């Protein structure tokens, strides 16, 4: 069931348009991530949902009610910021209770709800501590509990993990996702970290220059990017220029090597197109029936722990591929000529 709808949302600051005709529907209980580089408009969209920014055009609808002109405190939305924004003169218990007190809830109800939230984030034993006595990860969990305590209809998270070290980020993002699933709360998560978005989202919105380049599941975003920007921003990618030989059969030339794509192309003979190939799609060895093959000379090889990334020169084109680290198998030597094989479906034609 559609719960949150953004219809033709726009935002301008003077002559500068930072969000351009943004449209999206989010289901009840869905976890959606806005992913993109700094300045792409993702946080501005989040702030318009929250009511901290007023759209220049368009409407924000939650649970069938137009929220566009409502103040933030009228929307029943929980928000967790990048900077934890905890009250330094309040204990953990008092921080979590703050929104409930503002709403005028009875003391008994507040105490029960705060204890429930602290149990949810596994910090009930630290209820009497102050923020300065806690780690960054603990403070962010308190900020999450404070946002959830008033039972908001939508939870918004604005890069909540960016100030934490890598190991804590991984564990905390998993906690956030588990809590979100447990409560079934509709959630919008803003991040510039592709791994975060891919690992915890039901759907991802990849934003570029104020618009959504692609909206889809993590599987769709990674495996079938619809634009050149999405393909290059999400994951590691080989971008390869090719010249169309025969459009109807999908035959193209990469340097001096001819390959056939999985489908016909719309460009005419002699036109240059850009292809994308993920490093993990390729492998070495004898080509099976139907495999596509590119021959190249090994230029470099980098040990990355679980994988070894090898770069080939394919008739003037740089192509990388990943192979699992197998102690019993020696990676190809620099200067060696090898055959990289992959399925034709792995070679994607990119739109502009």
Look at residue 287 and tell me whether its pLDDT is greater than 70. Answer: no
What integer is the mean pLDDT of 24-52? 96
Which of 224, 254, 248, 72 lies closest to 152 in space, CA to CA?
72
Domain-terminating residue out of 232, 248, 265: 232
CA torsion angle 79 82 83 86 (round to 10):
30
What integer is the mean pLDDT of 269-290? 84
CA distance 155 to 187: 5
**C-beta atoms surrounding 37 within 10 Å:** 12
Which of 210, 157, 272 lies closest to 9 in space, CA to CA?
210
CA distance 77 to 153: 6
Quote the tokens at residue 296. Answer: 């190249």
Q: Do 198 and 336 have their domain in common?
A: no
CA 79 and chain centroid, separation: 18
Taking the model in full, what pTM does it have?
Answer: 0.86
CA 229 and chain centroid, separation: 14
The pLDDT tens digits for 154-182 are: 999 999 888 788 888 899 999 999 999 99
Q: Do 225 and 283 have their domain in common?
A: no
Residue 30's pLDDT band (cuts 50, 70, 90): very high
CA distance 10 to 55: 6
What integer is the mean pLDDT of 1-12? 94
Domain containing residue 261: CATH number: 2.40.50.100
Cβ(127)–Cβ(69) below 8 Å: no
The pLDDT tens digits for 233-247 are: 998 888 899 999 999
Look at residue 36 and tell me whether its pLDDT is greater than 90. Answer: yes
Q: How far is CA 176 from CA 136, 153, 201, 280, in A?
A: 15, 16, 11, 29
Quote the tokens at residue 150. Answer: 């008033």
Q: Do 141 and 273 have their domain in common?
A: no
Q: Do 11 and 70 have their domain in common?
A: yes
- In this prediction, residue 351 carries a pLDDT of 72
Beta bridge partners of 239: 276
Look at residue 323 and tell me whether its pLDDT is greater than 90. Answer: no
- In this prediction, residue 352 carries a pLDDT of 62
What is the tally of structural domains in the chain?
2
Which of 302, 312, 319 lies closest to 337 in space, CA to CA?
312
CA distance 8 to 23: 5
CA distance 149 to 142: 10
- In this prediction, residue 185 carries a pLDDT of 96
Q: Do 144 and 201 have their domain in common?
A: yes
Cβ(269)–Cβ(247) below 8 Å: yes
Residue 260's pLDDT band (cuts 50, 70, 90): very high
Q: Do 120 and 156 have their domain in common?
A: yes
DSSP code at position 124: G
What integer is the mean pLDDT of 245-267? 92
What percent of the chain stands above pLDDT 70? 99
What integer is the mean pLDDT of 184-210? 95
What integer is the mean pLDDT of 268-280? 91
Q: Do 23 and 134 have their domain in common?
A: yes
Beta bridge partners of 189: 33, 157
Quote the tokens at residue 32. Answer: 């959606």
What integer is the mean pLDDT of 315-330? 85
Quote the tokens at residue 81. Answer: 């910021």
CA distance 331 to 91: 56
What integer is the mean pLDDT of 111-131? 94
Q: Do 212 and 110 have their domain in common?
A: yes
Domain-terminating residue out of 198, 232, 266: 232
Residue 132's pLDDT band (cuts 50, 70, 90): very high
**Picking from 76-85, 149-158, 210-219, which range would have the lowest pLDDT averaged per residue?**
76-85
Tokens 């209980």 sit on residue: 29
Look at residue 61 and tell me whether its pLDDT is greater than 80. Answer: yes
Residue 196's pLDDT band (cuts 50, 70, 90): very high
Q: Do 180 and 289 have their domain in common?
A: no
Average pLDDT, the chain: 92
Q: Do 225 and 243 have their domain in common?
A: no
Domain that holds residue 228: 2-232
Quote the tokens at residue 53. Answer: 């920014």
């Amino acid at each position: 069931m559609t719960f949150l709808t953004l219809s033709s949302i726009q935002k301008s600051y003077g002559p500068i348009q930072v969000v351009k005709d943004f449209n999206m529907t989010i289901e009840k209980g869905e976890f959606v991530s806005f992913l993109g580089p700094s300045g792409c408009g993702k946080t501005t969209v989040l702030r318009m949902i929250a009511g901290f920014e007023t759209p220049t055009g368009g409407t924000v609808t939650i649970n069938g009610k137009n929220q566009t002109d409502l103040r933030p405190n009228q929307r029943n939305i929980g928000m967790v910021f990048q900077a934890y924004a905890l009250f330094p003169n309040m204990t953990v218990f008092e921080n979590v209770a703050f929104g409930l007190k503002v709403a005028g809830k009875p003391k008994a109800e507040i105490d029960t709800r705060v204890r429930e939230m602290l149990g949810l984030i596994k910090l009930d034993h630290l209820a009497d501590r102050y923020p300065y006595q806690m780690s960054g990860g603990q403070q962010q969990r308190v900020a999450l509990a404070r946002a959830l305590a008033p039972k908001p209809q939508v939870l918004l998270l604005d890069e909540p993990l960016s100030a934490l070290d890598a190991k804590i980020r991984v564990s905390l993002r998993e906690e956030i996702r588990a809590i979100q699933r447990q409560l079934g709360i509709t959630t919008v998560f803003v991040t510039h970290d592709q791994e975060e978005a891919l690992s915890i989202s039901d759907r991802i919105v990849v934003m570029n220059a104020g618009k959504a380049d692609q909206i889809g599941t993590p599987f769709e975003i990674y495996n079938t990017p619809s634009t050149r920007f999405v393909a290059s921003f999400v994951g590691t990618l080989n971008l390869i220029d090719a010249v169309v030989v025969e459009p109807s059969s999908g035959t193209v030339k990469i340097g001096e090597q001819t390959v056939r794509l999985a489908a016909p192309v719309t460009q005419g003979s002699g036109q240059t197109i850009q292809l994308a190939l993920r490093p993990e799609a390729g492998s070495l060895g004898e080509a099976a029936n139907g495999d596509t093959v590119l021959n190249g000379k090994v230029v470099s090889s980098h040990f990355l722990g679980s994988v070894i990334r090898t770069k080939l020169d394919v008739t003037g084109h740089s192509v990388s591929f990943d192979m699992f680290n197998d102690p019993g198998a020696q990676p190809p030597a620099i200067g060696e000529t090898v055959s990289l094989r992959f399925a034709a479906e792995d070679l994607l034609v990119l739109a502009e």
